[in-house]
Amino acid sequence: MVGLFVLVGIFAPWLSPHDPAQQNIGNTLMPPFWEAGGSMAHPLGTASLGQDVLSGIIYGARVSLLVAVCAVFLSGAFGVTVGLLAGFLGGWVDSLLMRLCDMQLSIPFILLAIALIGALGPSMGNVIFVIAITNWVSYARVARAETRSLRERDFVKAARISGTGLARLLAVHIFPNVLNSVVVLATLDIGKVIIFESGLSFLGLGVQPPTPSWGAMLADGRKYVNIAWWLSMFPGLAIMVVALGVNFLGDWVRERLDPKFLE
Amino acid sequence: MSFRLTAKLLLRSTLLLALLSPAAYAVPTGKITIAVPSEPGTLDPMRSNNRYNHTFNANMFEALFVRDSRAELVPGLAESVNISSDGLTYTFKLRRGVRFHDGSTMTADDVKFSMDRATNPATKNPMASFLKAIERVDIANPDTIVVKLKERDGAFLKKLAFAGWVIPRRYFESVGEEGFARRPIGSGPFKFKSRSINEFIELEANELHRSNVPKVKDLVYRTIPEDAVRLAELQTGRVDIATEMPPPLMERIEALKDVKAVSHPTGAVYWVVFNVKDGKDNPVTKLKVRQALNYGIDKQAIIKGVLRGQATQVAGALVPSITPPDPTLKPYPYDPAMARKLLAEAGYPNGLKVEMYGSVGRYTLDRDISLAIANSLKGIGVDVDLKLWESSKWVGDLGKKYYPMSYQEFGNTIFDPEGLMIFGVHTKAFWSFYTNPQVDKLIDESMAIIDTKQRNAHFQKIDRLLHEDASHIFLWESKIVMGVKDKLNWTPAPGDTWFKFWDASWQK
Amino acid sequence: MLSYLLGRLWHALLCVLGVSVIVFAITNLIGDPVNLLLPPEVSSADRQAYREALGLDRDPVTQYLIFLSKAVQGDLGVSYRFNVPVLELVLSRFPATVELALAAIVFAVLVGMSTGIVSAIWPGTLVDRLVQGVSLVGMAAPTFWVGIMLILLFSVQLQLLPTAGRSGWSSLVLPAITLGWYSTAVISRMTRSTMLEVLDSDYIRMSVLKGTPRRVIIFKHSLKNILTTMVTIVSLQLVVLLAGAVITETIFAWPGIGRLLIQSAGSGDYPVVQGITLLCSLLFVLIDFVTDLLYFAIDPRIRHNL
């Protein structure tokens, strides 16, 4: 399932019957082909400017894929670094970094998103940035916990005594062992991020048209939900199916890498 | 006096009073619930910072001159006015016996106090610019207020009807500004009952009103931002009026059992504003480019396909539902060939690239319309770099950042073309970026004209100039779609979006 | 133990302070609210006067210090839009959100825990698969989609429940379900997995061997053990809930803090934005604190470790 999602995202331009941004204002809000007024030219119907819904969904996969992967990667990278440093160095560094985490958690994500996107303007890059900024804390916590327990292990102690530099220590000895839990977290996170992105689009803060995004399609569709249910149903289904698939993937990964579930 | 004598006297005077008092109004009954997408901030009429304030101002307060429920300008708190021959002195004869909602009687002192407060910079009244012609307000005698103007202002009475609200001085001074915001008191047909911010505002009929006691007792405005939910509430009968519905929903509303769909001209005009002022060498500073862009958009197709017919194309700056435009002035038709020709003449035979800034969520279907406009222009070789920004960012940057083209609305305020000219066309306007010394001069001159027919003719002249100079891309006057219960007798006047409810009633 | 608590308190205060700085910085970043607060008819000169009257022309540091000094006295300023004190405004909207959040949590815990337990008791059966499937779907469905679908189904089609606004118990149902949906799924899964672990433990096996009736095993022994985990999950979910509340409140026209926040941010009413954020962070810190106390109460091991 996830494979399908990724494939669709990558091969979107070949698969999609229309350019998703192509307008057709003579044919707005057409229903899917199985209802009266629909046609096979637009099998899942059209949106408020006549854009083809199916194409929107196909291209939207790209956006969701890109945003999810980049955001998770960025937040993971940042969070893990913070966690490694905090867990290993301890003392005031740990204190400071943990305070940072708590502060981050106390600020409602929505507010941060509104403010940052308001200041920087909505674009894919900024959306990724905002999600990464609000999402790194759980990685930090997991990494920190793991690092702290690893710190006391013999092989680490041995490396320290032999004078290995901090960076090398972290990168070579600690990080690979932390990686397992982080990967579990990351795969589960992808689903969450896809939903975050759609939430941002819902509030008008996400990726802007003409670039199609599932969240934006949902947000648009909600005005017309009484007369054009297909605008909300299909993107919503797409989000659900992909998030489901990614969660399954996450579970599978977890079972392979981590027999005892940590959280 | 003896008891029997007193009783007889009492009886006789009561009978006399009963015979002499005017025909009693019918006791107001019933309730109207109206679902709106947003609400005003403070209800203080001199701190009205939001277009939703105006319906409350119109229902709860009165000015020396007011608009009645047909949006006609009529005497309000003044019985009559005498304008001096030089047009600088307005002498208002005040009405007697006007009662505020707290029972107190209006005096000339209240009028002067209110006008002074409205024009005092310390008040921070967003509508103060409408009253800027006022030099001083004096009480000549308890029944007469004299307003002296700095300069002639042909639309002064109209401006009073929009921004000259009268509030009770004693009450205001005793509760202060915050207290007044919590419980406003005026003299209008409805009085304030209660408010829950973000939830509802309740008004009730003012039975002390001299002439416009409402037929309905309660008026409840419910704030419901989601369009689909407003429709659902209308459908389930929990609201009686649902406003600002997206045009594609019109059919659905009409199909509802006991509801009728109403299409209401708003008096608001939509343009794509060119920034000619700061343009330097941007293509839009060239006349032919602007004209080409006017020819190059299929406005009728957008009105039909996106707005489902809920708009009337305009030729210039005169809004059809408010001021009759010159019938010989036709709107720019869709003519791609002409557009390309003009572009070539202007030096862009292979088309050109231009930026356009549109808001999202500020105006009805603003995003879709901006996209449709950009798409239409593609057909004449103009590549529009469309920047769609969330409403608050778009507004925040307006006037600060350079927007070569922007999709904007200019709403109706005083039912007079001067409003649009001053705020949308004049060089000095804050949200307008057009500049033309000849037009500025004509607008300034219009201030001095008091006679309505002359004013209209004068503005038609300005309109033609704007049209020929393609000052903006002239799009349309919009209509809003509302769902109203069949049994509710209520029809707002065209161009009037400050909905007045004192004549609304339920059919039996 | 007192020193531990005091330490946590100090930590909490620093946190709130840090948040106030960040929020202030952010609202300054968004820029000038004057254009948002005033209609198009106001001239440039008047806008500048307005800016000065609001104290926005001074440098950010001064503004922050003024804000802070007033805040500690309980004065969070006056709303630019509504002209009423921020504290009063925010507190008046608070009960609605609390009501919604509590209802959502109650729903989530009741439904989540019961389905989780049921699922754990009969692992591998149809019931278990069904519960797992639905909870997975629940975690994947976006809040606003759920909300709108629910409105369409229950309110419009079936006419069973009111659509929008806050008007008594029946109007709380749909919003609470919408908000609590995701948490229900999470709690269900967590309960199931933790329960399975506990059921598998030696302690429980001993009880089975001893012949303790099944009901006692489930309700008395296992539940106590999973309580710590549950407390963690619930407090984490409360945080999630506040974020989701903004969306739910917008859809259902629920007059709470979430809607006020997004509305104020969009209309330049920054004192309200700052006020809400400050109060929210105070609240989170409080929840954190209470969670810690609950750990003490439930798990003797933590007490001893101190």
Ordered DSSP codes for C13-35: HHHHHHHHHHHHHHHHHH---HH
Angle of helix C2-30 relative to helix C60-71, nearest 10 degrees, comes to 140
Could you report the per-residue pLDDT of C165-190, keeping only the tens digit for each?
A: 777 778 888 888 888 888 888 888 87
Residue A116 confidence (pLDDT): 72
pLDDT given for residue C302 in this prediction: 56
The reply to whether C166 touches chain B by the CB within 8 Å rule is yes
Task: Report whether pLDDT(B175) > 80.
Answer: yes
Tell me how many degrees the CA angle B403-B406-B410 measures, rounded to the nearest 5: 125
Picking from A18, A46, A49, A127 by the largest number of B CB atoms within 10 A of its own CB, the best residue to mutate is A49
DSSP state of A249: H
Between B297 and C39, the higher pLDDT residue? B297
**Which residues of chain C are within 8 Å of residue B162 when distances are taken between CB atoms?**
none
Distances (CA, A) of B314 to B303, B311, B331, B332, B463: 12, 9, 6, 9, 11
Contacts of B304 in chain A (CB under 8 A): 25
> In the structure encoding, which two tokens stand for residue B441, read together?
């001069």
A-chain CB neighbours of B246 within 8 Å are 223-224
Residue type at position C87: L
pLDDT of residue A263: 40
Position B13 pLDDT exceeds 90:
no
pLDDT in the model for residue C224: 66
Which of the residue ranges B417-426, C138-147, C185-194, C289-298 would you say has the lowest mean pLDDT? Answer: C289-298
Return d(Cα B262, Cα B260) in angstroms, integer. 6
Three-state SS for B96? Answer: coil
Top mean pLDDT of A216-220, B335-339, C8-12, C166-170 is at: B335-339
ipTM: 0.80
CB crowding C48-58: b at 16 or more within 10 Å, else e: ebbbeebebee
Distance CA B235, CA B240 (A): 9
Sign of CA dihedral B175, B179, B181, B187: negative
For tokens 């916590």, what's the residue? A141
Q: Answer for the pair A76, A186: CB distance below 8 angstroms, yes or no.
A: yes
Report for A139-153, B432-446, C138-152: range of highest mean pLDDT: B432-446
**pLDDT tops 90 at residue B215:** yes
Count of positions (residues) in chain A: 263
pLDDT tens digits, B391-437: 777 887 787 778 889 999 988 888 888 888 888 888 888 777 888 89
CB contact under 8 A, C18 and A103: yes
CB atoms within 10 A of CB B249: 23
CB contact under 8 A, B226 and C40: no
CB proximity B229 to A under 8 Å = no
Residues B58-66 have a mean pLDDT of 95
A118, B390 in Cβ contact below 8 A?
Answer: yes
Residue C48 has what pLDDT? 82
Pairing between strand B488-489 and B472-485? unpaired
Whether B320 and B312 have beta carbons less than 8 Å apart is answered as yes
pLDDT tens digits for B447-505?
888 888 898 899 999 999 999 999 999 999 999 999 999 999 999 999 898 999 999 99
Give the mean pLDDT of chain C: 78
Tell me: pLDDT of B93 over 90: yes
Residue to mutate among B183, B277, B392, B408, with most C CBs inside 10 A, is: B392
Lowest mean pLDDT of B184-198, B264-278, C66-80, C200-214, name the range.
C200-214
- Interchain contact, A218 vs C31, CB within 8 Å: no
Indicate if the pLDDT at residue B19 is higher than 60: no
Chain C contact probe: residue of B226, B235, B271, B391 with most C CBs at under 10 A: B226
Shortest alpha-carbon distance between residue C26 and chain A (Å): 6
Residues in chain C, overall count: 306
Whether pLDDT at B268 is above 80:
yes
The answer to whether the beta carbons of residues B293 and B343 sit under 8 Å apart is no
Tokens standing for C112? 């989540």
**pLDDT (0 to 100) of residue A261:** 44
CB spacing of C262 vs A118 below 8 angstroms: no
Give B137's strand partners: B147
Q: Quick count: other Cβ atoms within 10 Å of Cβ B94?
A: 22
**pLDDT for the residue numbered B4:** 61
C-beta atoms of A48 and B248 within 8 A: yes
Question: Which amino acid is residue B102, in one-letter code?
Answer: D
Number of CB pairs, chain A paired with chain C, less than 8 A apart: 119
Q: What is the pLDDT of residue C284?
A: 76
The answer to whether residue C193 neighbours chain A at the CB level (below 8 Å) is yes
Q: How many CB atoms lie within 10 A of CB C219?
A: 11
pLDDT at A262: 43
Best residue of A223, A229, A231 to probe chain B, by most B CBs closer than 10 Å:
A223
Half-sphere exposure of A174 (CA within 13 A, CB side): 34
Residue B327 has pLDDT above 80, yes or no: yes
Which residues have CB under 8 Å from C135's CB, separation 6+?
C115, C184, C185, C186, C188, C189
B40/B52 Cα distance (integer angstroms): 5
B300 touching A, CB under 8 A? no
Q: Which of A130, A215, A105 is nearest to C29 (CA)?
A: A130
Between B388 and B442, residue with greater pLDDT: B442
Look at A227 and B391 and tell me if their CB atoms are within 8 Å: no
The beta strand positions in chain C, using DSSP E, are none
| B346 at C interface, C-beta within 8 A | no
Mean pLDDT of chain B: 89
State the burial class of residue B241 (Cβ atoms within 10 Å of its Cβ: 0-12, 13-18, 19+). Answer: buried
- Give the residue ranges of chain A where pLDDT is below 70: 1-22, 24, 26-27, 33, 35-36, 106-108, 110, 115, 117-122, 169-170, 173, 204, 209-210, 254, 257-263
B375 or C285, which is more confident: B375
Q: What stretches of chain A show up as alpha helix (H) in DSSP?
A: 2-10, 12-15, 53-89, 91-106, 109-120, 124-135, 137-151, 154-161, 166-168, 175-202, 214-221, 230-257
- From the list C269, C284, C246, C283, the residue with the least C-alpha distance to C76 is C269
Q: Please report the residues numbered 51 through 110 in chain C whose beta carbons come closer than 8 angstroms to any beta carbon of chain A.
A: none
* Longest CA–CA separation in chain A, Å: 77
- Cα separation of B356 and B293, whole Å? 12
B15/B372: higher pLDDT: B372
> Which residues in chain B are contacts of C47 at CB distance < 8 A?
430
Cβ–Cβ of C142/A199 closer than 8 Å?
yes
Alpha carbon distance B496, B499 (integer Å): 7
pLDDT value of position A119: 64
Chain C positions in Cβ-Cβ contact with residue B128 (cut-off 8 Å): 42, 46
Cβ–Cβ under 8 Å, residues B443 and B462: yes
Three-state DSSP class for residue B205:
strand
**CB < 8 Å from B in window 235-254 of C:** 250-253
